[in-house]
C-alpha cells in the first residue's frame, strides 16, 4: 500500500483482514494523511445528509469511528448551521493513535518516513515498489498494490495511465489550514464574522488575502479555532510550486490573524499553527476501467457493482478566493461507487483508493472526502487481497468479502 491516509489505512486493514500479508509505506512520521498532516479535522462522508443522517461507511472506517469515540477524539455527527451538512469534528492525536492501533492489531508492516519512489512491472502487472529511506532504496515485491498516495505516485512510477485533475481544467485549489487560539469563549466565531473581518482587511489594503468565506469551527477539546481560508493554486506534482504556495499561504494566515483581532473577543487571537503541510484537494487520478460521473453521483444511483457508498454533496473549490460551489445529492441519500472506478486500466493488480480514484470534476467534488476515502480504500484493499491470493477480483467476490468485514454497501443492508 502506498500512502497512509484514510484510504491507505483502510486498504491495508481490509487486505489484512482478507488474509493478505501487507506492508504500508507512508512518507510522513505518522498515519492519517490530510487529517494529521494538514489539520483537516472534520470527517465528512461517513453519513448521508438526510434528516436524521444515516451512517454509510462501516467496516474499517466504522471501526476507526468507534476507536476515536473511545479515545474521546470525535464529536459528531453534527449538522453545520452555515452550510447544512453533516460532519464530525476530530482531534489529530487520537486519529494517529487509533490508526496506529488498528494497523498493529491486524499485523500490518507499517513503514513510516519512507517514500515509494519507483516501481517495476512485468507485462500487465506491477511486481515491485521501490522505497526510499535514509538508508537508501529497498524493494517491496507483492502480488498486488494499492495506490492511496493522493498524488497517484505509485501508478505514475509504474507507467500506468494517470490524469492530472480531469485532464481539461485546473485541479481544485488547495488550502493551508490554520489553528488560532486566544479567542474569548463567548466570541462570535462564525464564518460570517470572519468573512467580515477579512473583507475589511482587504478594504484597508492588506496584502496576501484570498478567501473570505470558508470553514471556521471551534475544536471540541482544545477550544482552538480551525479555519480553511488561506487558498492557493499550485501544481502538487512540483515541489517548488508547492513550496511557493505554502510560503504565500503562511503570509495569508498571519494576515488573517491580524484581521480577526478587530472582531469583539478576538483581540488576543494568535496563530498556534498552520498546516503543517498545505492541504491538496486534487492532483493526479489513476485512469481506471470506468470513471465515476457527476450525473450518477447526483442521481443517488447505487448500482450492482457498488463496492463503496458516498454521501457528501458535490463541493467544488474552483480557484483561490472563489466561493465554494455546492450541489446536493438526490434526496440527500447515498450513491454507489463501482469497483471499476478503483481498478487501474493499465495493470490488473493495481488499485486506486481515496482521492486518486477515477472521477470527473463533480463526482470527485463529493468522493474525495475522508469518510468516502475509508470506503474506497477498504474496497481496493479487499480487491487487492483477492488478486494477491490468486483469485480474480470479481464484483461479487469483493462485495461478499466487504460485507463479511461489515462494510455498508446499501442502506437496507
Ligand X SMILES: Cc1cc2nc3c(=O)[nH]c(=O)nc-3n(C[C@H](O)[C@H](O)[C@H](O)COP(=O)(O)OP(=O)(O)OC[C@H]3O[C@@H](n4cnc5c(N)ncnc54)[C@H](O)[C@@H]3O)c2cc1C
Residues that bind ligand X (CB under 6 A): 2-8, 25-28, 33-34, 37, 40, 42-45, 115-116, 148-151, 153, 174-175, 228, 279-281, 354-355, 368-371, 373
The answer to whether 355 touches 310, Cβ cutoff 8 Å, is no
The smaller minimum CB distance to ligand X, of residues 174 and 294, is found at: 174
Residues linked to residue 88 through DSSP beta bridges, in sequence order: 43
Residue at shortest CB range from ligand X: 354
Place of cell 517548488: 240
Q: Which residues contact 251 (CB under 8 A, 6 or more apart)?
A: 207, 208
**CA 218 distance to own-chain centroid:** 21
Pick between residue 8 and residue 73 the one whose CB is nearest to ligand X. 8
Closer residue to ligand X in complex, CB, 138/264:
138
CB of 181 to ligand X, least distance (A): 20
Least spacing, CB of residue 268 vs ligand X, in Å: 26
The angle subtended at Cα 272 by Cα 202 and Cα 28, nearest 5°, is 110
Say if residues 354 and 373 touch (Cβ distance below 8 Å).
Answer: yes
Q: Count CB atoms within 10 A of the CB of residue 268.
A: 10
Least distance in angstroms from the C-beta of 111 to ligand X: 9
Residue with cell 487529517: 35
Q: Which is nearer to ligand X, 25 or 64 (CB)?
A: 25
- Secondary structure tally for the chain: helices H, strands E: 11, 20
Q: How far is the CB of 396 from ligand X (least distance, A)?
A: 26
CB 271 within 8 A of CB 228: no
Residue whose CB is less far from ligand X, 228 or 234: 228
Q: How far is it, in rounded angstroms, from Cα 252 to Cα 243?
A: 14
The distance of closest approach from Cβ of residue 390 to ligand X in the complex, given in angstroms and rounded to an integer, is 27
The closest of 213, 212, 217, 207 to 178, measured between CA atoms, is 217
Query: Least distance to ligand X from the beta carbon of 132, Å?
Result: 9
Taking the least distance from each CB to ligand X, the nearer of 27 and 399 is 27
Minimum gap (Å) between residue 304 Cβ and ligand X: 25
Q: Which helix (H) or strand (E) holds 41?
A: none
| Cβ proximity to ligand X, 370 vs 386, nearer residue | 370
DSSP 296-352: HHHHT---TTEEEEE-SPEEE--STTSPPEEEPPGGG--EEEEGGGSBBSS-TTEEE
Tell me whether residue 38 or residue 405 sits nearer to ligand X (CB atom).
38
CB of 90 to ligand X, least distance (A): 9
Amino acid at each position: 500500500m502506498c500512502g497512509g491516509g484514510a484510504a491507505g489505512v483502510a486498504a491495508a486493514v481490509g487486505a489484512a483482514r482478507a488474509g493478505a500479508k501487507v506492508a504500508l509505506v507512508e512518507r510522513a512520521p505518522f498515519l492519517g494523511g490530510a487529517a494529521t498532516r494538514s489539520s483537516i479535522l472534520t470527517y465528512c462522508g461517513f453519513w448521508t445528509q438526510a434528516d436524521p443522517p444515516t451512517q454509510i461507511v462501516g467496516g474499517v472506517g466504522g471501526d476507526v469511528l468507534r476507536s476515536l469515540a473511545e479515545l474521546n477524539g470525535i464529536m459528531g455527527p453534527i449538522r453545520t448551521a452555515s452550510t447544512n451538512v453533516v460532519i464530525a469534528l476530530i482531534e489529530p492525536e487520537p486519529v494517529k493513535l487509533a490508526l496506529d492501533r488498528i494497523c498493529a492489531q491486524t499485523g500490518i508492516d507499517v513503514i513510516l518516513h519512507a517514500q515509494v519512489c519507483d516501481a517495476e512491472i512485468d507485462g500487465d502487472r506491477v511486481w515491485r515498489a521501490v522505497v526510499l529511506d535514509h538508508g537508501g532504496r529497498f524493494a517491496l515485491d507483492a502480488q498486488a498494490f494499492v495506490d492511496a498516495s493522493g498524488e497517484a505516485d505509485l501508478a505514475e512510477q509504474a507507467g500506468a495511465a494517470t490524469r492530472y485533475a480531469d485532464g481539461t481544467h485546473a485541479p481544485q485549489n488547495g488550502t493551508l489550514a490554520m489553528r488560532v487560539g486566544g479567542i474569548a469563549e463567548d466570541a462570535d466565531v462564525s464564518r460570517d464574522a470572519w468573512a467580515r473581518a477579512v473583507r475589511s482587511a482587504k478594504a484597508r489594503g492588506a496584502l496576501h488575502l484570498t478567501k473570505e468565506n470558508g470553514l471556521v469551527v471551534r475544536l471540541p477539546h482544545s477550544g482552538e479555532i480551525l479555519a480553511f481560508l488561506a487558498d492557493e493554486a499550485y501544481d502538487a506534482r512540483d515541489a517548488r510550486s508547492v513550496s511557493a504556495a505554502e510560503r504565500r499561504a503562511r503570509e495569508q494566515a498571519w494576515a488573517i490573524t491580524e484581521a480577526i483581532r478587530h472582531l469583539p473577543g478576538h483581540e488576543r487571537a494568535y496563530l498556534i499553527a498552520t498546516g503543517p503541510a498545505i492541504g491538496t484537494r486534487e492532483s493526479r487520478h489513476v485512469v481506471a476501467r470506468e470513471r465515476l460521473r457527476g450525473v450518477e453521483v447526483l442521481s443517488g444511483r447505487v448500482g450492482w457493482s457498488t463496492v463503496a457508498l458516498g454521501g457528501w454533496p458535490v463541493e467544488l473549490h474552483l480557484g483561490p478566493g472563489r466561493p465554494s460551489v455546492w450541489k446536493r445529492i438526490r434526496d440527500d441519500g447515498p450513491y454507489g461507487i463501482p469497483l471499476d472506478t478503483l481498478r487501474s486500466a493499465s495493470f490488473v493488480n493495481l488499485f486506486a483508493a481515496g482521492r486518486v480514484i477515477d472521477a470527473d470534476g463533480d463526482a470527485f467534488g463529493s468522493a474525495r472526502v475522508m469518510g468516502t476515502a475509508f470506503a474506497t480504500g477498504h474496497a481496493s484493499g479487499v480487491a487487492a487481497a483477492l488478486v494477491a491470493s490468486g483469485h480474480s477480483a470479481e464484483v461479487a467476490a469483493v462485495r461478499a468479502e466487504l460485507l463479511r468485514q461489515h462494510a455498508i454497501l446499501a442502506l437496507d443492508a
